[in-house]
Amino acid sequence: VQSMVAAMPHNQTKAEEHGFDNGINPPPGHAVEPPSRLVGGSTLSEENSSDKVGTAALDGLNATTESLDRVRVDSTGRALTTNQGVAIADNQNSLKYGVRGPALLEDFVLREKVTHFDHERIPERIVHARGSGAHGFFECYQPLAKYTKAAPFRAAGKVTPVFVRFSTVQGERGSKDTARDVRGFAVKFYTDEGNWDLVGNNIPVFFIQDAMKFPDLVHAVKPEPHHQMPQAASAHDTFWDFVSLMPESTHMLMWVMSDRAIPRSFATMQGFGVHTFRLVNEQGESVFCKFHWTPVAGTHSLVWDEAVKISGADPDYHRRDLWERIESGNYPEYELGVQIFTEEQAEEFSFDILDATKLVPEELVPVMPVGRMVLNRNPDNFFAETEQVAFCTAQVIPGIDFSNDPLLAGRIHSYVDTQISRLGGPNFHELPINAPLVQVHNNQRDGMHRQAIHRGRVNYEPNSLGGGCPFQAGAAQGFVSVPARIRADEEQGKVRAKPEKFADHYTQARLFYESQTPVEQCHIANAFRFELSKVAVPAIRERMVASLRNASEELAQKVADGLGMNPLPSPLPRALPDPVTPEVQKSPPLSLLARPGDGTIKGRKVALLVAPGVEAAAILRVQAMLAERGAVGRLVGPRIGPMPAANGDVVDADASLENEPGFLFDGIVLPDGAEAVAALAQDGHTAESIKDQFRHCKPMLVLGASRQLLTHAGIPLAMDKSLVQGGTGLIVAEPGQEDSAIAAFIDALAKHRHFGREMDPPLV
């Protein structure tokens, strides 16, 4: 054998470059464990997941784990093979005639590898291309039998596995997470009676009332067709041209210009089914229903300047946050609530419940909590799960039904249709992530990529050769549409028209604006100012302000001031001349600040600045106290790596101000130690980080000598004093009072933002 090896061309096996005993590569089967920077992240989620470091999946609560087991691949201790399972001897060299000779066509190993690679991409989603997914479960609080027979709501404590995908709408698959945009909130319930997809958004209303306008809306908001700009942004002419000509968009625009469109985390935003659905009970009785997801962590958002900066430093900000929350055991959790109302009630409302640009105020119909959803497992493979998951609004189960919302009707068609081209054929339901946990039996056959092997010769119904199987389930078990009466006024017949109340475009836009706190109102005005200032054609800006005048004179004036528009244009003519008298004038739950959450700091990230000569004890104490509460404190230095502390110990910075700028953190701690403070003062990144924290109204803890860093960053001390006293989250520790200062900082972190400090334009 030895002589044969010697006779081979020099690098036949590339042992020198790829050898396992050269001290660089680990031997086969020995993975390098990634270091865990996450609190609580120490155990492997699943045995075969080499780069997941989070807590283990929970038995019984991750039913999708088992169903996906059959397709999971674990290459630990295995040799490379072709797709036909033939072991590959050499994965470095193509087959050639002599080492310097031509490559040979017969090289099936090379050709298979490159051919597969050539086809690795699939078309991205037409909208919602950028997204992140997670597995989890839904748990029912109480049986909801009075209203619905839907499987997930049958019994208290009943658990249904789910897969969730959050997304932005406008940007492409690789675009930034922190765009100003609507967020998709799509939930696939793998129920014991088939899959139910609740494909919602983080905003309860929509831009348009009829699916007929969806392609126009999407064309208008997407990058403009001639130059393909802008990416992941709505601040451009075609979008504002369209929406300013579609007054029905006004309500949605209020939401999209609010901080809802720049969430801090997927774990801190609400979700909504948007349309009116129906719940149906065993007796076939039905009620109308609106679905609401409310995050246990509260609703928290970014501020615009911060979102813009984050998009440069970490375009994966939300994806990373979701991944890290799950890996560290701070599972995102949401309560599902339903608003239930009857057809008779709906008829009395001042708005039409079939109009997706309207919401049902909670004062009119309260939200009843029915269960909770916990996201506790990251996908094993992004493509196989998050990219290939196919949500379809048509996928409902017995107990859930549609209303006649014309936007929903279009969606029931569109999603199945789009998957056929995106996923390459009609069998996308067989992809592991899409397959229901229950068995599928029908006479649909063949098509691209068919996986099921149907046995026997019967592929039709009725049949006697197969004993009549698969047979119709009948009304008792099967899905039966609600035999809803359509009050289609006989004399109307087939029409292309809208119900009358659809013509009221402004009442709820006003309701939303009036229900916001002054800070939120200011952010809405600023967002309109920003977006419209990017619009090049003055007539479009004017038309939009003219439309806003119908919703709120105050807002229109603020926006006009911001655009240097004087005088105001006349209000746009209204489709419905007589204003509607709404049931409620103000709905406090529409404010983000109305849902501060559970008051914890779980999942938050704090920068603990360090430099050589740092007084380590207090910093490490803050880090430990944060960890106890489920937050992550990262040691951030001018450079990464170990450095001497003032007491002779060594502290190890695992991030630098260069690779993790301050605005990526929810809070910042400035250390004590004269030498360290002097070093930090020498680095311009420090002052930038402090300014950003100040400007973005996030908590700061200032220990000992680092007080001077504030002055250095241009935060006047006189101001800082008033701000400290004003409880605005800027905490300067007095000597000997460090413990109470740390406690105050943690408290400030739980409050998230301290808008008392906000100024427009920013002073710092």
Q: Is 201 labeled as catalytic in the residue annotation?
A: yes
Q: How far is the CB of 399 from ligand HDD (least distance, A)?
A: 21
Candidate ranges 121-129, 241-249, 437-445, 499-507; the one touching ligand HDD (CB under 6 A): 121-129
Candidate ranges 333-341, 403-411, 642-650, 657-665; the one touching ligand HDD (CB under 6 A): 403-411
Q: Name which position in 12, 49, 345, 418 contacts ligand HDD (CB under 6 A).
A: 418
Q: Name which position in 52, 125, 260, 264 contacts ligand HDD (CB under 6 A).
A: 125
Q: Does residue 204 contact residue 276 with C-beta atoms inside 8 Å? A: no
**Contact positions with ligand HDD (CB under 6 A) in 275-304:** 275
Tell whether residue 125 is among the known ligand binding residues: yes
**407 touching ligand HDD, by CB under 6 A:** yes
Q: Does residue 26 contact residue 20 with C-beta atoms inside 8 Å? A: yes
**167 touching ligand HDD, by CB under 6 A:** yes
**Contact positions with ligand HDD (CB under 6 A) in 348-367:** 356
Catalytic residue among 62, 135, 195, 201: 201
Candidate ranges 199-207, 324-332, 717-725, 730-738; the one touching ligand HDD (CB under 6 A): 199-207
Tell whether residue 130 is among the known ligand binding residues: no
- Full strand arrangement of the beta sheet holding 667-670: 655-656, 632-637, 605-609, 667-670, 700-702, 730-732
- Residue listed under structure tokens 């009358």: 500
Candidate ranges 124-132, 155-163, 516-524, 705-713; the one touching ligand HDD (CB under 6 A): 124-132
Residue 646 phi/psi, 5-degree rounding, is -60, -35
Q: How far is the CB of 314 from ligand HDD (least distance, A)?
A: 21
Q: State the DSSP code for 671.
A: P
Q: Name which position in 184, 263, 399, 612 contacts ligand HDD (CB under 6 A).
A: 184
Catalytic residue among 128, 275, 752, 754: 128
**221 touching ligand HDD, by CB under 6 A:** no
Q: How far is the CB of 419 from ligand HDD (least distance, A)?
A: 6
Each residue of 214-249: b (16+ CB within 10 Å) or e? Answer: beebeebbbbeeeeeebebbbebebbbbbbbebbbb
Look up residue 513 and give its two tokens: 């604006």
**131 touching ligand HDD, by CB under 6 A:** yes
Each residue of 34-44: b (16+ CB within 10 Å) or e? Answer: eeeebbbbeeb
The CA distance from 190 to 134, in Å, is 14
Tell whether residue 154 is among the known ligand binding residues: no
Candidate ranges 58-66, 405-413, 503-511, 648-656; the one touching ligand HDD (CB under 6 A): 405-413
**128 touching ligand HDD, by CB under 6 A:** yes
The CA distance from 544 to 548, in Å, is 6
**603 touching ligand HDD, by CB under 6 A:** no
Look up residue 267 and give its two tokens: 């774990």
Query: Under 8 Å CB-to-CB from 566, ≥6 apart: which residues?
Result: 560
532-537 own/partner pairs: CB under 8 Å, 24+ apart: 532/240, 532/559, 532/563, 533/562, 533/563, 534/235, 534/236, 535/235, 535/236, 535/237, 535/240, 536/237, 537/237, 537/241
**271 touching ligand HDD, by CB under 6 A:** no
The CA distance from 371 to 148, in Å, is 14
DSSP-derived pairing of the beta strands 368-377 and 131-140? antiparallel
**214 touching ligand HDD, by CB under 6 A:** yes
Query: Under 8 Å CB-to-CB from 138, ≥6 apart: which residues?
Result: 152, 159, 160, 161, 162, 187, 189, 336, 371, 372, 373
Tell whether residue 207 is among the known ligand binding residues: no
Compute how many residues bind ligand HDD; rule: CB under 6 A: 25
Nearer to ligand HDD, 275 or 325 (CB): 275
**411 touching ligand HDD, by CB under 6 A:** yes
**311 touching ligand HDD, by CB under 6 A:** no
**162 touching ligand HDD, by CB under 6 A:** no
Active site residues: 128, 201
Residues that bind ligand HDD (CB under 6 A): 125-128, 131, 165, 167, 184, 186, 199-201, 206, 211, 214, 274-275, 356, 391, 407, 410-411, 414-415, 418
